[in-house]
Amino acid sequence: MTVQSSLADAADKMDKAIAHLKDELAAIRTGRASPAVLNRISVDYYGATVPLNQLSSFSVPEPRQLLVQPFDRNAIGAIEKAIQASDLGIAPSNDGNVIRLSFPPLTEERRKDLVKVVHQRTEDGRVAIRNVRRHHKEELEKLEREATISEDDLKRAEKELQKLTDHHVAEIDEMQRHKEQELMEV
């Protein structure tokens, strides 16, 4: 393991943590309809658990409405049941061909609850970034103890690792600000 490969690995893992957080935040329902809120829903389809996005297509005809068009009409009941069982809090209506999801406007209390969820998820993201930093800092210190790199190389690598960490934490902060703004928008 070299300093450069360790830093590249750290950057890669931090990027993956950011991507995971983006998916987590996209799944939090705002006042607008977004197909991303359905990403976590799985449907019991002929005895197998299948992600909803593999069984249907989605469209947003209006800002507060989402249409779920199943590829197989026979799956419409199972899809409807899975949506009702989810934590979305939306009652689906089905006309035999498509399932309509109407998103009611969020109440002030619900908005504040969702902001708390956003804070928790972004904090989890920051912790993941810091864990990556800690792990790679330990690796670099091990390289220095084994006399593979000099003390000066260790200091430079630690500074570089800290820059990576700061950059990714700033990205998380920006994502948090954006999501909060989206939630508080009436």
User: Is the same domain home to 122 and 175?
Assistant: yes
pLDDT in tens, 85-114: 887 777 888 888 899 988 878 788 888 888
Instruction: Give residue 62's pLDDT.
Output: 86
Spell out, as residue ranges, where the chain has pLDDT lower than 70: 31, 186
β pairing state of 42-45 and 56-62: unpaired
User: Can you name the residues that pair with 49 across neighbouring β-strands?
Assistant: 44
Q: Could you list the residue range(s) of the whole structural domain that residue 165 is in? A: 3-26+107-184
> Rounded to an integer, what distance in angstroms lies between the CA atom of residue 63 and that of residue 141?
52
Identify the domain boundary among 102, 133, 160. 102
Cα(29)–Cα(68) distance, integer angstroms: 16
- Which of 87, 102, 117 is a domain's end point? 102
CATH number of residue 165's parent domain: 1.10.132.20
Which residues, listed in sequence order, are joined to residue 57 by a DSSP beta bridge?
69
In this predicted structure, what is the pLDDT of residue 186?
Answer: 62
